[in-house]
Chains A and B, each alone.
Chain A
Amino acid sequence: MNEEIIKLGFALIYGIATILAVIFLGLLYKGIDRKLAARFQSRVGPPIRQPFRDVSKLFMKETITPENSVSWIFHSMPLIAFATALLIILYLPIGPFAPILGEYGDLILIVYLLAIPSLAIAVGGFSSGSPVATIGAQREMVLMMSYEFPLAIVVLSLAWLANINATGNAFALGTFTANPVWEMVGIVGAMGLVLLLASIFVVLTSELSKLPFDIPEAETELAGGVFAEYSGRDMAMFYLADAVKSFAMVTLVVALFFPYNLSPWIISQFGVELPAIMGIPIAAYVIDLLFFLFKVFIIMFFAVTFVRVSLARLKIDKASYIYLVPTTIIAIMGMVFIYMGSAL
């Protein structure tokens, strides 16, 4: 009994610490992204701590309820988006640390949870009663319907791969951490994995609603679209949800495709014993965490920053087409390659 309470208390503290750390990291990555994008465009750009300032300022600002909005839906959606984004984090392994809720959910749950912040944004847009937000919300829905399909194909292909090659629950993220996908396949399968990675990169941009797929917000067309009526605390919640979800989404890609840690390699390569305190390998944790943050940075750089400075915004029909036809075909091809690789 006593032991369980201690375990629960530890999990609680661990969970809160993770959440706070992820909020901090999400905002930090947002700041880095903005700074790098600015340097790409030969601007000075905002300081890296600007997102923190933005959030604290938004929390101080007045929260306005539009006259013809459905106020309880309007105000609850930002909370739902933020809470779900945080929930996803608890199911994902952050670097060397295993997910807290890892035993209670699997990949399928994460894919569903990832859809909820976007849904909340769309519902919030519809409930705000502004024509601009309504159009933005419609676009958000169309976009979601388009990119969920390739995303599902990627996840299913990987789960199928894990099912035949690894022991344990094929949909659990722990399985992927223990058995990196690249080790399960031959050359043909690796080609398939590259295709899957490419399609998830395309999905990533849209999932995070960044250019060229920031169509629901489209500043110059819809004046902020779904967020047109949001202000103050509600806006801050969406802002935080976006930061956390960006981090979560990239973490998912890292967990699925690049679950490698650096410390085992260092130990085997140099034969050094990394210092540990009270049986906890602190040094290995620090190295692995930094390596994980580096992986997240690399993926964010190529999937978000680099893409958003080099493309113009697409139209909704074209964006939907890109997901439903080319991206889906690439994902299916990846699936076929993996199947062929395993069958051979």
Chain B
Amino acid sequence: MADTTYTFPIGPVHPALKEPTMFKFVMDGEVVVDVDVQPGINHRGIEFIGMRRNVLQTLHLAERICGICSIVHQYAFTLATERAAQVFEVPERAQYIRIIMAELERLHSHLLWAGVAAHELGFDTLLHLSWKIREDVQDVLEIISGNRVNYAMYYPGGVRRDIPPEKIPRIKKVLDHYKENFQMLADTFLGDPVIKHRTVGVGTLSKKDAIATSTVGPTTRASGVMKDVRFDQPYDAYADIDIKPVIPSNYGFEDAGDVYANIVVRLIEVAQSIEIIEYALDNMPSGPYRAEMNVNKVLMMLRKADGEGFGIHEAPRGEMCHYVRLKENQDNLDAWKVRASTYNNILAWQKKLIGQQIADVSIVAASIDPCIGCMDRVAVVDSRTGKEKIMTDVDFHRLSVEKTKRLRK
């Protein structure tokens, strides 16, 4: 075997990867024998920057962790901050606006992914079709927040902007337009013979492996695992809505965990999101949209707060966690930890990629919808001598214990 294999690198910069990360493949002909994923190239030290600013500044910094899933970081960060401070009573209207924004984000993210997946398959017409459809939700986001990305909507104790009633018909118009076009998109993605040939049975992840690697979001649901934060531990207005995790077998497809199942899950979630937004728009109660309007008061409340909070949000890519610790009489965050969904999902890459052809690598890599900008939180720093040291879990445990001891002093 050793004589016939060769190594084949993909990355750090490659057209198949939208963000820099590194794959080293051991190949036998066109077939992947082994793969080594080496992330860490896109690390920007955002947590470090955030811990030197006050909570409201970090709120906007959190949004800029990632351009595509901007709002999910802000949502999880806001939830974590509120739970840490425990002084904010989030008005019900704000809770509804929050989930409307989160679901609009899911709509645009899934449509974006659909386009990227089509492009990875070399089907550029479908890429342009999906992104043309996606423009409508971008318009809605712009109408609500004034921005196509980085909406800056969340705020400790509510949201920054209301959705006034006169904007609701425009949003509903787009949703109706989506419902009309959804079937066309679904037929193209799920019925096209070439797409089927390229995706069915490609990059499979068994249910057992999905649980073992603790994947999250559509990646794990495509394998048939019932896992959805909105369902498992509902927050905000999600508690009012009956959400069922989308798994392919409930809709007459196979829980294969392959690329096709991923497409199925994401497409059905688009339909689900449209339903949630419609429900939320119809049932949104009137009232204030923020608990405390005065920024300085909010800052004072956060300054007085002492405690830690854990915010989890079901991002388009899966469970997104922010950990925040606030200390009394301290403006900046005492601790901030981000664990993006891609961090869990890249573990599935190895299981999915081994045994695939090189032609499938890009679509399999894309099937988890990787967001490297979100994920790269740990940097492996070369020592001054230029030697690389690979950290094991033992090292990390030792460092964690040392850090905890230092913090306690």
Q: Which A residues are closer than 8 A to B by beta carbons?
A: 40-43, 131-132, 135, 211-212, 214-215, 218-223, 309-318
Contact = CB atoms under 8 A, between A and B. Distances in A.
A312 B15 contact: no
B394 interface: no
Interface in B90-148: 118-129, 132
A218 B359 contact: yes
A210 B122 CA distance: 11
Interface of B: 6-9, 14-16, 30, 118-129, 132, 192, 194-195, 197-198, 357-362
Nearest to B7: A131
B378 to A, nearest CB: 27
A48 B197 CA distance: 34
23 contacts: A41-B128, A131-B7, A135-B30, A135-B358, A212-B122, A212-B194, A218-B359, A220-B119, A221-B358, A221-B361, A222-B358, A223-B14, A309-B124, A309-B125, A311-B123, A311-B194, A312-B118, A312-B195, A313-B121, A313-B359, A314-B198, A315-B197, A316-B359
Q: Which 4 A-B pairs have the closest CB atoms?
A: A313-B122, A312-B123, A41-B128, A312-B121
B123 A221 contact: no
Contacts of A215: 359
A162 to B, nearest CB: 37
B128 A211 contact: no
A312 B263 CA distance: 15
Contact of A43 (B128, B195, B198): B128
B6 A131 contact: yes
B14 A214 contact: no
Nearest to B123: A312
Contacts of A223: 14-16
A127 to B, nearest CB: 17
Contact of B8 (A131, A218, A316): A131
A167 to B, nearest CB: 46
A68 to B, nearest CB: 14
Given A131-B8, A135-B30, A221-B361, A310 B16 contact: no
B359 A312 contact: no
Nearest to A214: B122
Contacts of A131: 6-9
B197 A42 contact: no
Contact of A314 (B14, B194, B362): B194
Contacts of A309: 124-125
A21 B126 CA distance: 36
B217 to A, nearest CB: 23
A315 B9 contact: no
Given A131-B8, A311-B194, A315-B198, A220 B362 contact: yes
B25 to A, nearest CB: 10
Contacts of A212: 122, 194
Contacts of B30: 135, 316-317
Contacts of B128: 41-43
A212 B192 CA distance: 14
A313 B129 CA distance: 17
Nearest to B360: A315
Given A212-B194, A312-B122, A313-B122, A221 B16 contact: yes
Nearest to B363: A220
B125 A220 contact: no
Contacts of B122: 211-212, 214, 218-220, 312-313
Contacts of A43: 128
Contacts of B195: 312
A220 B132 contact: no
B33 to A, nearest CB: 15
A315 B194 contact: no
Contacts of B360: 315
Contacts of A220: 15-16, 119-122, 362
A315 B127 CA distance: 19
A315 B125 contact: no
A31 to B, nearest CB: 18
A134 to B, nearest CB: 9
Contacts of B6: 131
A223 B126 CA distance: 20
A143 to B, nearest CB: 13
Nearest to B8: A131
Contacts of A222: 358
A315 B123 contact: no
Contacts of A132: 8
A310 B126 CA distance: 9
A316 B122 CA distance: 13
Contacts of B7: 131
A309 B69 CA distance: 30
Contacts of A312: 118, 121-123, 126, 192, 194-195, 198
A310 to B, nearest CB: 7
Nearest to A312: B123
B94 to A, nearest CB: 38
A132 B118 CA distance: 22
A209 B253 CA distance: 35
B206 to A, nearest CB: 23
Contacts of B357: 315-317
Contacts of A41: 124-125, 127-129
A219 B15 contact: yes
Contacts of B126: 312
Contact of B362 (A135, A221, A318): A221
Contacts of A314: 194, 197-198
Nearest to B362: A220
Q: Which of B122, B127, B360 has the most CB of A within 10 A?
A: B122
Contacts of A135: 8, 30, 358
A313 B119 CA distance: 10
B15 A318 contact: no
Nearest to A224: B15
B17 to A, nearest CB: 9
A200 B30 CA distance: 28
Given A42-B132, A131-B6, A316-B30, A221 B359 contact: yes
